[in-house]
Amino acid sequence: MSGNGPTALGLTATILQVGLVVAGAPLLTGVMRQVRARLEGRAGAGVGQPWRDLRKQLRKQAITSVGTGPAFRTAPVLLVATTAVVAALVPLASTRTPVSGSSDLIVVVALLALGTVTLALAGLDSGTAFGGMGASREMTIAALVEPTILLSVFALSLPAGSTNLPVIVTGAVRDPARLASPAGLLATAALAVAVLAETGRLPVDNPSTHLELTMVHEAMVLEYAGPDLALVELGAQMRLAVLLGLLVSLFAPWGIATTASAGALLLGAACFAVKATLLGSALAAAEVFWAKLRLFRVPELLAGSFLLSLLAVTTSYFLSGA
């Protein structure tokens, strides 16, 4: 990717991507909950309910459990901050941003892992049995998910000749046939499973569960309340939006702005919103028919996705004639 100067349009694209994720993530969660409610025969709380919940939590008094340390107090801010940086790096609406030269696959996965580790440390720092249990389960899942994400995107980077995400997306826009290749299909399946696990969705985790013994993500945040809980929930919603955006940007990149044009940028932002909403709605609809896997079956699913990503890399290597 050629270096792009910090032009006004490039800065606008970066700010627009982060703004879409921050403002749209709660709405995306609301849409997914509403789709699931309708399919289950319920009226649902409405698309704007996650925003109302965040506003209610922000108005409450901040309460910190006795005995917690810096890891517990700083985790909510770090979770939101790392996800916002990922939203700026991933080409969600445009590939022409001032940070496109730094949008490397390794950097994005490292930032996602940093958010996961931060929240796991917060669960341990709370000193509760459920916090430690959730942190242990989360790191077990992360140990299998992060390599899968790396290999899945790496399979697409071989034809592009770079691990830079804007370069990969631009190449896919110009040569969409590579997405329908065996390597592209295998990478799509592997990354889809990894996204489900990374965001704590069914069948890996149930985001709406109230049973402590089955919790993974929720077990780590049981001790949070008030503004800290609002930041944790916002961070989780942002991670869902960013990972779904990464999935659609890599495997359905049509509409993403590849030129420095205001019209192309607006079209890219609109396409990102539509594609993320459609993918989120499809995921919510599928969750109605899925059951949560037993904890000891989750590594088998994630190991299968890792194998798919490894096959994707192997296939891409041979097809690219390396």
Render pLDDT for 286-307 as a digit per residue (tens, 0 to 9): 999 998 888 889 999 999 999 9
The one-letter amino acid at 110: A
Kindly report the CA angle at 30 between 269 and 49, in degrees rounded to 5? 120
pLDDT at 39: 95
Judged against a pLDDT cut of 80, whether residue 198 lies above it is answered with yes
Share of the chain above pLDDT 90, in %: 76
Question: What are the residue ranges spanned by the domains of the chain?
Answer: 8-319
pLDDT at residue 178, as a whole number:
83
> What does the pLDDT average to over 68-95?
95
What is the reported pLDDT for 1? 39
User: Is residue 210 pLDDT above 60, yes or no?
Assistant: yes
The tokens of 29 are what? 């969660």
Q: Is pLDDT above 50 for 176?
A: yes
DSSP string spanning 214-226?
Answer: G-SHHHHTTT--H
Q: For position 217, what pLDDT does the model report?
A: 86
pLDDT tens column, 223-233: 999 999 999 99
**pLDDT given at position 4:** 43
Q: With bands split at pLDDT 50, 70 and 90, how would you rate the model's confidence at 3?
A: very low
- Over residues 29-49, the pLDDT tens digits come to 999 999 999 999 999 999 999
Closest C-alpha to 305, from 132, 101, 140, 149: 149
- 210 against 233, higher pLDDT: 233
pLDDT higher at 310 or 322 = 310
Better-scored residue on pLDDT, 83 or 177: 83
Proportion of the chain above pLDDT 70, given as a percent: 97
To the nearest whole number, what is the mean pLDDT of the chain?
92
Average pLDDT rounded to a whole number, residues 256-273? 93
- Answer whether residue 311 shows pLDDT above 80: yes
H or E segment to which residue 64 belongs: none
pLDDT, residue 212, reads 67
What pLDDT is stored for residue 321 in this prediction? Answer: 61
Residues 6 or more apart in contact with residue 24 via CB below 8 angstroms? 241, 273, 276
Listed as own residue / partner, the contacts of 211-217 with beta carbons closer than 8 Å and 24 or more positions apart are: 212/130, 214/292, 214/295, 215/130, 215/133, 215/134, 216/134, 216/137, 216/138, 216/141, 217/119, 217/134, 217/138
Q: In this predicted structure, what is the pLDDT of residue 6? A: 62
Q: Is the per-residue pLDDT at 256 higher than 90? A: yes
In this structure, are residues 154 and 94 in contact, taking their beta carbons and an 8 Å threshold?
A: no
